[in-house]
């Protein structure tokens, strides 16, 4: 069952989302905060911009951090046909009976930006590492401390046998931008 704004507010009071924003609409800002059936998370000020490291490919099993240039600021420019990694401003603690799915915001999608986040599994916690791809033939800007994507919380009919925390997942309690791990 998809959870509503009342449930999200109650769970935020119990520590599911920190910091939590009650309001969503703001003038001159990409919206963030609680919505009818989701939560629009913000993007932080730290970015890893993909750059040519001289390697002919990217290998998730032998990932070279030199593939990224670190950047911190209010506005990040994504080169054409490239991507950046960033992190959510919010820290999430997902309940054992909930799975959260993430969808990019339409404001950025209409500019050719695609947001990718894997599901937030039951009992996962941490800052969300976010991948933003620029499919446009020109550079694109994204704005720190503003909305980037919406999380939809789905409550299971039954509790899972093994949660992300139980299996000691490699991305548990991540802080900051987390690069691929094997």
Q: pLDDT of 53-111, one tens digit each?
A: 777 788 889 888 888 999 999 999 999 999 999 999 999 999 999 999 999 999 999 99
Q: How confident is the model at residue 132 (pLDDT cuts 50, 70, 90)?
A: very high
Would residue 164 count as lying in a domain?
no
Q: Return all residues near 94 (Cβ < 8 A) that are at least 6 apart.
A: 16, 100, 120, 121, 122, 123, 124, 125, 164
DSSP code for 66: G
Whether the CA torsion 99, 104, 107, 108 is positive or negative: it is positive
Residue with tokens 């509790």: 159
Element at 45 (helix H, strand E): strand 38-50
pLDDT at residue 24 in the model: 85
Would residue 11 count as lying in a domain?
yes
The one catalytic residue among 90, 131, 146, 158: 131
Range(s) of the domain holding residue 102: 5-53+65-155
Tell me the CATH number at 26.
Answer: 2.70.40.10
Number of structural domains, the chain?
1
pTM: 0.95
Would residue 113 count as lying in a domain?
yes
Q: What is the mean pLDDT of residues 12-41?
A: 95
pLDDT at residue 26 in the model: 84
Query: Which tokens belong to 165?
Result: 């925390």
88 exposure class (CB count in 10 Å sphere: 0-12, 13-18, 19+): buried
Would residue 173 count as lying in a domain?
no
Catalytic-residue membership of 131: yes
Contact 177, 87 (CB under 8 A): yes
Residue 142 above 80 pLDDT?
yes
């Amino acid at each position: 069952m998809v959870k509503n704004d009342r449930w999200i507010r109650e769970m935020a009071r119990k520590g599911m989302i920190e910091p939590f924003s009650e309001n969503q609409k703001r003038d001159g800002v990409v919206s963030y905060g609680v919505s009818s059936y989701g939560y629009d998370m913000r993007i932080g000020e730290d970015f890893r911009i993909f750059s040519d490291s001289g390697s002919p490919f990217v290998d998730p099993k032998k990932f070279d951090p030199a593939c990224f240039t670190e950047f911190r600021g209010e506005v990040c420019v994504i080169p054409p046909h490239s991507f950046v990694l960033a992190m959510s401003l919010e820290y999430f603690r997902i309940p054992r009976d909930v799975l959260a799915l993430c969808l990019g915001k339409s404001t950025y999608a209409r500019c050719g930006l695609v947001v990718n986040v894997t599901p937030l599994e039951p009992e996962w916690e941490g800052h969300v590492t976010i991948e933003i791809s620029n499919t446009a033939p020109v550079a694109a800007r994204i704005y720190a401390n503003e909305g980037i994507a919406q999380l939809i919380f789905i409550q299971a009919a039954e509790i899972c046998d093994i949660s992300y925390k139980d299996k000691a997942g490699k991305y548990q309690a991540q802080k900051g931008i987390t690069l691929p791990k094997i």
